[in-house]
Each structure stands twice: as C-alpha cells, then as structure tokens.
Structure 1
Amino acid sequence: MDCAVDVWGMTVARLGRGSANVQGSARVSALTASSAPRWQESTGKPVVRVLDKPTPQTLIVSWCDARSGHYGYQTWRAVVARKRGMCVLTGHLIKAGEMVYKPRSEGQPPANGDAMILAESIHAGKAPAGSSVVSEAAGRRERANAAEGGAFGADPPAPRDVI
C-alpha cells in the first residue's frame, strides 16, 4: 500500500460520491493535494472567528475545520500578501501586495498556514454568516468570564446543607 495515499481524503470522497472506486479516489486525492491547501479541499468552509485584536499587527483567531483541525486561540500576524488568494472571513479576492493577516508559524507551519484574512475586512468589521469579528472589548470580556468560571461571569450557587 502506498504510504502517500490520503486515507481520510479517500474516505470523505467515497462518502460524498458513494463511489466504490478506491483507486480513482486515490488519484483524485493525490492531484487535489498537490494543487490546493488541505483546508480548501473540504466541501465545507472553515468556521473562522476573530476573538481579539491585542495589537494592530496581531489577531487572535478561532479556526475550526474538519480537514485541517481546530485552533482555538491561534495568533495571526499582519503581513503583505505575496500571492493572490481568498479571504477566509469574507470570501473577497485578495491581490498580491494587499495587507492581510496570516497564521503565525513557529517551526512547522500549521495546516491552515496559507489561509489569509484581508486586513480591510477586520478594520471595517465585516463578517458574513458562519464567521464573526468579535470586538476587542467583547473578546476581553469573554476571556474574563471564562477565567472566572462562568459563561455569564456569575459565581455558581453555594452548596446547601442537607438535614
């Protein structure tokens, strides 16, 4: 068996088409893997939420995708786009030379390492259905509430003595 075959991709492809042709699925998967990032191969779009903007050059993003994984609190940094692409938050076309945010990678790049968010969409507060831009203050409130142990920031009720 070829170790380079994407077993998960074959499984998803077979489920989607109802095909029993494993060899054909493997060839399609191999072609797709070489031409598109893993997160773009999936039929569904990743769920992307901008949680916070701690500095003008960074974003904190929650990324959830069945193929590329879940990054609950991922730092993205502002850079100039080296190639054209698509904004994962709005779906708008990104041209080379535009300011974008990309996942920060230390060592091996993350599975969503080539994803981009158009900086203009963050500054304008644009967010289509299925994604969101959470304000800086709202992001801080969410983290503070989580740190306090409650979704609403309230203390849990005290236990009662049973007699």
Structure 2
Amino acid sequence: MVRGLLSSPSSRTSAPVRPQRNACIRDDDAFRRCTVKVEERLPNAAFALSWTDPTRCSYREQVWKRATARRAGVCVLSGQAIKRGDAVFRPQAHRFKIPLNSGAMILAVSLEMWGGSQADPE
C-alpha cells in the first residue's frame, strides 16, 4: 500500500512549494471578518484590544504596540488603506509565541482618536 502511494504522481513534486505573493492580500481579506474592541490605553504607546476572528483565533486584552508598517495593507479598525511606512499598531509578539493575527495592522490615527489624544511616539 505504501509503495502504491509513493508511486502515485500526486506524491511527487518537481519544485518546492513557494508561498504565494498574494498572501498579504488574503490576510487583509480574512481580517475583515474579525471583531476588534479597544479595551484600554496602556503606557508606552500601547493599547489593550480584544480580537475575535471566527475562523482563526480569539484574544482578550491583547497588547498592541506602535510600529511602522513594513508593507501595504488595510486597517482592521477603520478599513482605510495602509501604505508602507505609515504609523500603525500591531499585536505584540513574544520570542516564541507569535499571535495568529500578527499580520494585522491598525492605523495609529484610528486608535489615537479613541484615546482622546495623541499616543506617545516610540
């Protein structure tokens, strides 16, 4: 039985599978189904958010820190376009624990309006 499976044409690949270039676009589409609730403003330019995505994950009081966008995307809070280099907030990753929503971004302007004043710069 194993020989039959190994000799199957579908078990052979001629080239390694590469990640698709449109992965970021698909992530942005997936993030549109999520629910984001701003819980509180934290010191050092951070916010605690609750994130619920019915297909991926759910985080309560997840810490998001201010950063610079490394790629274009879509703000999960406002739906506005994000350009590379824009000020954004991203989920905080730990050394060995990267959250499933680590590719998500929120424009800094969207969160700063919630807090009532400008968040502290990095």
Per the shorter chain, which TM-score range? 0.5 to 0.7
Q: Distance in 1 between matches of 2:52 and 2:27?
A: 10
Q: CA RMSD in A?
A: 2.7
> In the TM superposition, what is the alpha-carbon distance from 1:124 to its structure 2 partner?
2.3
Equivalent position of 1:119 in the other structure: 108
Structure showing greater relative contact order (alpha-carbon pairs closer than 8 Å, 6 or more residues apart) = 2
Gap runs ≥5 in structure 1: 1-32, 126-134, 137-163
Task: Give yes or no for the alignment of 1:60 onto 2:48.
Answer: yes
Alignment coverage as a number of residue pairs: 97
Task: Give yes or no for the alignment of 1:74 onto 2:74.
Answer: no
1:115 aligned partner, one-letter code = A
Equivalent position of 2:83 in the other structure: 95
Distance 1:43 1:79, change over 3 A: closer
- 40-49 or 66-75, larger mean C-alpha shift: 40-49
- Deviation string 1:15-48 (CA, Å, 9 cap, x unpaired) is xxxxxxxxxxxxxxxxxx8443675454961000
2:107 aligned partner, one-letter code = L
More strand by percentage: 2
TM-score of the pair, normalised by structure 1:
0.52
Residues 36 and 52 in structure 2, CA contact (< 8 A), matched pair in contact too: yes
Residues 39 and 68 in structure 1, CA contact (< 8 A), matched pair in contact too: no
Equivalent position of 1:4 in the other structure: none
Q: Distance in 2 between matches of 1:105 and 1:70?
A: 15
Distance 1:39 1:47, change over 3 A: farther
Residues 68 and 85 in structure 2, CA contact (< 8 A), matched pair in contact too: yes
Equivalent position of 1:36 in the other structure: 23
Q: Distance in 1 between matches of 2:113 and 2:49?
A: 17
1:91 aligned partner, one-letter code = G
Gap runs ≥5 in structure 2: 1-18, 117-122
1:84 aligned partner, one-letter code = A
Equivalent position of 2:119 in the other structure: none
More helix by percentage: 1
> In the TM superposition, what is the alpha-carbon distance from 1:62 to its structure 2 partner?
0.3
Equivalent position of 2:98 in the other structure: 109
Q: Distance in 2 between matches of 1:96 and 1:48?
A: 22
